[in-house]
Structure 1
Amino acid sequence: MATSATTDHVLAPAKPHSLLADYATLFKLRISTMVIITAGAGFYLGSLRSGISPFHAGFLQALIGIAVVTCGSSALNQALERKSDSLMRRTADRPMAAGRISLAHGLILGFAATFLGALYLAYTTNLLTGTLTLLTAIGYVAIYTPLKRVTTINTFIGAFPGALPPLIGWTAARGVIEWPGVALFAILFVWQFPHFMAIGWMYREDYARAGIRLTPNLPNARYAAQSTVVQALFYAVLMIPTSLWLSWFHITGLPYTIVATLLGLWYLYATIRFARILHGSNEADNTALARNLLKTSVLYLPLLMLAMILNAQGRLLF
């Protein structure tokens, strides 16, 4: 749990960092890995839909291009948020916020990776994939990032670029936007909200200190908790039918349907437990509930993607 916003936010002197470690932070490698996993799942399912092996040269080319653009947009995001990052305990030691990487350095890396990665995708996969990937980066950097300091609906708007990677993977394999690809987009779109609400609640004082507008920052603490819980529960319930949409298109079969339902119920259970923040007064317990939901969300998504891959086109591979 973050300490009070009135507490001095100055941190202890940072430990020495290598340039390689700073690049890993600048490019948000953990988030980039999740993007690659979801995009790879979309490519795999799209390739099978076309009746070809997913593991051809195009698979690696698509993932490389998507990864490069993701890293570039992460660098540009940190360039824009370097001042607000410096005000939050969990981000104050990021390389641009701490001044270890200059603004020019970060911007050059960010723009180069974003645009060269998109061009690479357009050349090696198809124009649609390159365009969608570039639009995702623009939506994340130029729309979502500035809105975080303006309006609380930034979370909803930011969910759109956040949900595009599996659709991009699908278009890389198929060359067109199709309903199964849209279903993959919908899964990631809905998944984000309980995930976001848990993060927002855990770090609400940090975000308030930096002027970032999230629902948990609202002045009325009771209303903030209610709004957070209602959103998390609504999307956790919606997650179950949304995850089953793929089976309706015969992209997956009965085993996936069973696994997806069980995973969805697990996600919903963690969200229902998170709702206890409405009645709990112990901040440590409330933070533990939010952290549990966050961990569940992080495990849920790759497990769901794995179930898709193992039961793609109804084939039983487990």
Structure 2
Amino acid sequence: MAGYAVAPAPFEWSTFTLCALGTGLLSGAANSVNQFHEVPFDSQMSRTKNRVLVCGRLTPLHSMLFAAGTSITGLGILYYGVNGLTASLGLANLILYTSIYTPMKRISILNTWVGSIVGAIPPLMGWSACAGTLGPGAWLMAALLYSWQFPHFNALSWNLRPDYSRAGYRMMAVTEPMLCKKVALRHTVALQAISMLAPVLDTTNWWFLLEVTPLNVYFIYLAYKFYEDASSSTSRKLFRFSLLHLPLMMILFLVNKKKWFVFEKTDNSEEQSL
């Protein structure tokens, strides 16, 4: 919901709550469909062999009924409680995840790029829920989320190569290990380049760039160490820092956002009372 919080429009708790609820329901639906399709493959991976469908604690029918219920409810909440643009983005992301990304994981390493688009859409949904449109700042946030996912997932997948290989998934870490390292490094550099656009596009003040640069530089350093000598140690360090990097970057984006409509609204009210 970072997209909602940083959008240049008044913050409304009711809309924010409905957006979060609708988005969460769609996420649950997408994951349910994903697990429905991947039961035979999840059973071959240590990381996923204890999922409820694999273990038989729920049936495939249960998962699809759950997916149908949560997707319909989630889309309804977004359309009627938020706006049509947010609902359309949610529907597009649901289709992209379940119908393109999920089957592509066993076909091509391009699944990682598609999956990164899936991860970049939620901030667009939050922004559109708050502002009603998609401004330059929305696309900037989406670009940050898109690039962040490559070092995050490539580092994660590096130590899961035996699992992915056994299950037949086409991941960079398995089929193109050098590309896996290069892409992780490239996108940490891209994060810094994208961050530089935030004050230029008048989305944040210049303090954001000054504060986020040390985070990005250290991220680049860890990605370079992973590129230079990919091992369990370097991949874990990169992955763990990615978990810290994203929330810190979003917090910095929020506290340094250029337009605080809540404050402007309060100031206007005080002026009218005077």
TM-score by length of 2: 0.91
Q: In the alignment, is residue 296 of structure 1 matched against residue 257 of structure 2?
A: no
Is 1:250 aligned to 2:211, yes or no? no
Per the alignment, residue 272 of structure 1 pairs with: 224
The one-letter amino acid of 1:44's match is A
Contact 1:76–1:111 at 8 Å: present in 2 too?
A: no
State the partner residue of 2:269. none
Are the counterparts in 2 of residues 225 and 277 from structure 1 also a CA contact under 8 Å? no
**Corresponding residue to 2:118 among 130, 141, 161:** 161
Question: Is 2:6 aligned against 1:45?
Answer: yes
| 2:164 aligns with one of 204, 207, 232 | 207
Distance in 1 between the 2:55 and 2:244 partners? 31
1:217-236 correspondence to structure 2 within 5 Å: 217-218=174-175, 224-236=176-188
- Separation in structure 2 between the aligned mates of residue 177 and residue 193 of structure 1, nearest angstrom: 24
Q: Does 2:162 match 1:238?
A: no
Match among 148, 152, 162 for residue 105 of structure 2: 148
1:106-164 deviations in whole A, cap 9, x for unaligned? Answer: 11111211222012101011011011011111101110000000111111112111111
User: What do residues 17-61 of structure 1 show as CA deviations (whole Å, max 9, x unaligned)?
Assistant: xxxxxxxxxxxxxxxxxxxxxxx2111121xx13x2x14311111
Q: Structure 1: which 4+ aligned runs deviate by more than 4 Å?
A: none
Does structure 1 residue 187 correspond to structure 2 residue 139?
A: no
Structure with the largest fraction of helix: 2
Q: CA deviation at 1:201?
A: 0.9
CA distance in 2, matches of 1:314, 1:233: 33
Matched ranges for 1:36-115 at <5 A: 40-46=1-7, 49-50=8-9, 52=10, 54-115=11-72
SS of aligned partner of 1:100: coil
Helix, strand or coil at the partner of 1:96 = helix
Contact 1:42 1:168 in 2 (8 A): yes
Amino acid at match of 1:148: K
Deviation at 1:229, TM superposition (A): 1.2
Tell me, yes or no, if the aligned pair for 1:198 and 1:294 is still in contact at 8 Å. Answer: yes
- Unpaired segments of 5 or more residues in structure 2? 261-274
How far apart, in 1, do the equivalents of 2:119 and 2:5 lie?
19
More displaced stretch, 252-261 vs 126-135: 252-261
User: Could you tell me which amino acid in structure 2 is paired with residue 137 of structure 1?
Assistant: L
Matched residues, number: 260
Q: Distance in 1 between matches of 2:220 and 2:53?
A: 37
CA distance in 1: counterparts of 2:79 and 2:21, whole angstroms: 12
**1:314 shift after superposition:** 6.8
The question of 1:307 aligning with 2:246 is answered no
- For residues 127 and 232 of structure 2, the distance between their equivalents in structure 1, rounded to whole angstroms, comes to 37
Q: CA deviation at 1:227?
A: 1.4
Mapped to 2, the partners of 1:183 and 1:115 lie a distance apart of 29
Aligned 8 A contact 1:72 1:109 in 2:
yes
CA positional deviation for 1:194 = 0.8
Please tell me the residue identity of whatever aligns with 1:122.
Y
The 2-side partners of 1:106 and 1:129 are apart by 25
Q: Could you report, residue by residue, the CA deviation over 1:280-317 in whole angstroms, capped at 9, with x for unpaired residues?
A: xxxxxx112111111111110000001111112177xx
Using the alignment, how far apart are the partners of 1:226 and 1:158 within structure 2?
20
